[in-house]
Structure 1
Amino acid sequence: MNLEKFKGIIPAFYACYDDAGEVSEMRTKDLCNYLYEKGVKGLYVGGSSGECIYQNLEERKATLKYVAEAVKGKLTLIAHVGAPSTRESVALAKYAEELGYDALSAIPPIYFKLPDSSVIKYWTEIMESTKLPFIIYNIPQTTGYNLSLQAFKKLIENKKVIGVKNSSMPVMDIERFKAAAGEDFIVFNGPDEQYVSGRVIGADSGIGGTYAAMPELLLKAEEFVSSGNFEQAKNIQRDINDIIIALCSLNGHMYSTIKELLKLRGVNVGSVRGPLEPVTGEDLNKVEEIKNMIDQAILKYGR
């Protein structure tokens, strides 16, 4: 398989709702087109940023469908199919294959504390349900499961496993996974706060929840890293981190702040679904300040 289509800036796609809080076809496609025009490499659809754990199966299928209709063939599409049960995950995987997605991905099972054997069996059953390649998703801070190197080595014996989206905070995890899997394998940097360091230590690409809020800056960070301009890469990562801290500083969930920010950038994707809290009151005025931070950074580094 040619893995080049998975290398680049791949935003984690946001859940797009209408004013009544239902999944919106129009707003989903608007966000797809906005990000395509910004020049991103692909979209990671239906993960944390897509509020997957707060949506039912049909809503998740609808989002997968609307994204495919908007940008299939234009962008690399990765379907996150992690769900509370293996049965639901397999149903989503098969549907993503029907829609023409390029790859599947999934978090480990949540809620119950499961041994490696159960997690490996879960991911393997998803892999075996389609012909699509699979990307492991390691995010221990939300799932409670930290992918061990031993389990990772067992998983990559399956040739369908072409990559890992590593969102654990230790950058060393990226280096260890890359060293174990080799060059013919994609390691995606997960934590946006360490994009540059992740790329330098071994990540081939990046998938992130704040990328769509400031795609210009992540694209520029990738340009600096890939060209060896590490001084500017360090500088832009500092500015990106200042913005991320600001996005997390308001009353309301970070994704709510990002969605209010996107409205100011001309893309209305609605708000967030409970129990995530929206940004309200005086904090709405602070979103304009964050937008100004992003705009100034874009001017600073050039588009």
Structure 2
Amino acid sequence: MNAKKMEGVIVAMNSCYDDRGRVAPETAAGLARWLVDKGVNGLYVGGGTGEGLLQSVEERQAVLEAVIGECGGEIPIIAHVGAMTTDAGAALAGHAEKAGADAVSAVPPFYYGYTEAAVRSHWQAIMDSCALPFIIYNVPASTGFAVSPEFLSSLCADKRLIGIKTTSFSTYELEQFKAVGGEAFAVYNGPDQQYLAGRVMGASGGIGGTYGAMPELFLAIERAYRNGNIEEARHWQIIVNRVITEIRALGLFGTVKELVRMRGIDCGAPRLPLPPLSPDALPRVHKLHEQIMNEIERAI
């Protein structure tokens, strides 16, 4: 699948656990179905929001299989296969191809302070382990490694690399990545708060976690942008940003999961050491849910 078919609102799916903290593939399938029915343009499975780095290889494989089994072929499914070890990343990529994913993506290796040569080798091994298109996940604040335009230019020699998700609040950097990759190269906006800004500066779309709590509002931004109505798109981005500010104040992972639960899909609590939602925060989350639903009524 080429990058042109993976545009717009791509939801970074929540992790799904049962009441004993075990991964719940059936719930993940249900969440995927709910998102597809809402009209999202793609799913990103096992990334940061999906808590893939807190799960075993086997758990991640089971979740991906469930999502693809539910809606594979309906919309693009990108499997995040980033891992602490190259062997694990390569194994996940090979499995993703067999399971029917449309592309794979990976953060750079992290914690030990890797050189560009080491990161190149790691990503090359992942690309060599399958025949799927590859999308870099650049998230310097979490990994400590920042992809530079120069480094990206050297990586683009491998045509299996079709895009980059970049999570930084610099749309200048996003634009520079697009310039390096060229017209056919996909750049995905990472920060949910700048979905519209990313689109205006050349992003193919966005991949984000708060999308899952209010997909209709991000789709409203995308629809207005595609129709050339930037003022309307800006209106919905401002609404979304107010919600995200409150979500982050209450605790990102626990709050998003509670909002999704209130919309009908119980994904369980975040996996430790990610903190659960504080019981004291519940009244504010419930009020936020009401605000979201009121805005959705206006958007659709």
- What's the TM-score once normalised by structure 2's chain length? 0.98
Residue in 2 that maps onto 1:204: 204
Q: CA deviation at 1:280?
A: 2.5
Q: CA deviation at 1:232?
A: 1.1
Q: CA deviation at 1:4?
A: 2.7
Q: CA deviation at 1:26?
A: 1.9
> Sequence identity, in percent?
43
Deviation readout 1:271-299 (Å, 9 max, x if unpaired):
11001111132211211111112112212
Q: CA deviation at 1:41?
A: 1.2
Distance 1:105 1:262 in 2: 24
Is residue 3–residue 163 contact of structure 2 (8 Å, CA) maintained in 1? no
Residue in 2 that maps onto 1:170: 170
Is residue 5–residue 41 contact of structure 1 (8 Å, CA) maintained in 2? no
Residue in 1 that maps onto 2:137: 137
Residue in 1 that maps onto 2:266: 268
Residue in 2 that maps onto 1:237: 237
Once superposed, which parts of structure 1, at least 4 consecutive aligned residues long, lie more than 3 Å away?
none
Is residue 120–residue 151 contact of structure 1 (8 Å, CA) maintained in 2? no
Task: In structure 2, list runs of 5 or more residues that go unmatched.
Answer: none
Give the AA of the match of 1:201.
Answer: M
Residue in 1 that maps onto 2:123: 123
Residue in 2 that maps onto 1:45: 45
Distance 1:232 1:71 in 2: 31
Residue in 1 that maps onto 2:227: 227
Distance 2:155 2:89 in 1: 18
Residue in 1 that maps onto 2:85: 85
Is residue 138–residue 166 contact of structure 2 (8 Å, CA) maintained in 1? yes
Q: CA RMSD in A?
A: 1.0
Classify the secondary structure of the residue corresponding to 1:248.
Answer: helix
Task: In structure 1, list runs of 5 or more residues that go unmatched.
Answer: none
Distance 1:4 1:182 in 2: 13
Residue in 2 that maps onto 1:282: 280
Distance 1:279 1:101 in 2: 32
Distance 2:232 2:32 in 1: 29
Is residue 4–residue 184 contact of structure 2 (8 Å, CA) maintained in 1? no
Distance 1:2 1:39 in 2: 20
Distance 1:112 1:220 in 2: 41
- What's the TM-score once normalised by structure 1's chain length? 0.97
Is residue 2–residue 162 contact of structure 2 (8 Å, CA) maintained in 1? no
Residue in 2 that maps onto 1:54: 54
Classify the secondary structure of the residue corresponding to 2:68.
Answer: helix
Q: CA deviation at 1:263?
A: 1.4
Give the aligned length.
300
Q: CA deviation at 1:43?
A: 0.5
